[in-house]
Amino acid sequence: MKYVLASSSERRQELLHRIISDFKVEVSNFDESTVSFNGNIEEYVINLAKGKAIAVRDSLNEEAIIIAGDTVVVLENEILGKPKNEEDAYRMLKELSGKAHRVYSGIVVINMYNNKIEEAALHTEVKISTLTDKEILSYIKTGEPLDKAGAYGIQGYGGVFVEEIHGCYYNVVGLPLNLLNKILNKVRD
């Protein structure tokens, strides 16, 4: 069986190698702005992941098992995406400072060999320490926050700000391995 990851994320690729040694990467051309947020975060991240998976499925010339995911950071029902610039990263980190938030991921797997589709979502609760302006500005200078949802990377320098975590660590990184493994087992049956 051939596997395809519908993501350009280096973190997702690195994590997927822990479950599947050989896979192709096909970046989805799915327009995420076509998915509207209706207040249900789990449904939202599943619909984003499903859009990516379907776009890749429709572009392939061969059968494969397609894996797609999407992850968002949510603070008090506000979705914090990737910051637009350093000022936006500062704003997000200031908002997260001293508070707990949730990281949601949606995973969709399409098995083109047997036409099975499985989807699921989960969340992890993360508490960030109270951050000083100096800590925030020093972190922004590393460049790490600029391509991360919520403006921090738990697996990088941003991990020093994480005071508590309840749930799947790999979900916060961007690919919940335990959930994905369960989904893969279902679609391969």
Catalytic residues: 70
Q: What does the DSSP assignment read for the chain?
A: --EEE----HHHHHHHTTT-SS-EE------GGGSPP-S-HHHHHHHHHHHHHHHHHHH-SS--EEEEEEEEEEETTEEE-S-SSHHHHHHHHHHHTT-EEEEEEEEEEEETTTTEEEEEEEEEEEEEPP--HHHHHHHHHTSGGGGSGGG--TTTGGGGGEEEEES-HHHHHT--HHHHHHHHHHHH-
Beta bridge partners of 127: 100, 164
Question: Parallel, antiparallel, or unpaired: how do β-strands 78-80 and 24-25 relate?
Answer: unpaired
How far out from the chain centre does Cα 176 lie? Answer: 8
**Identity of the amino acid at 121:** A
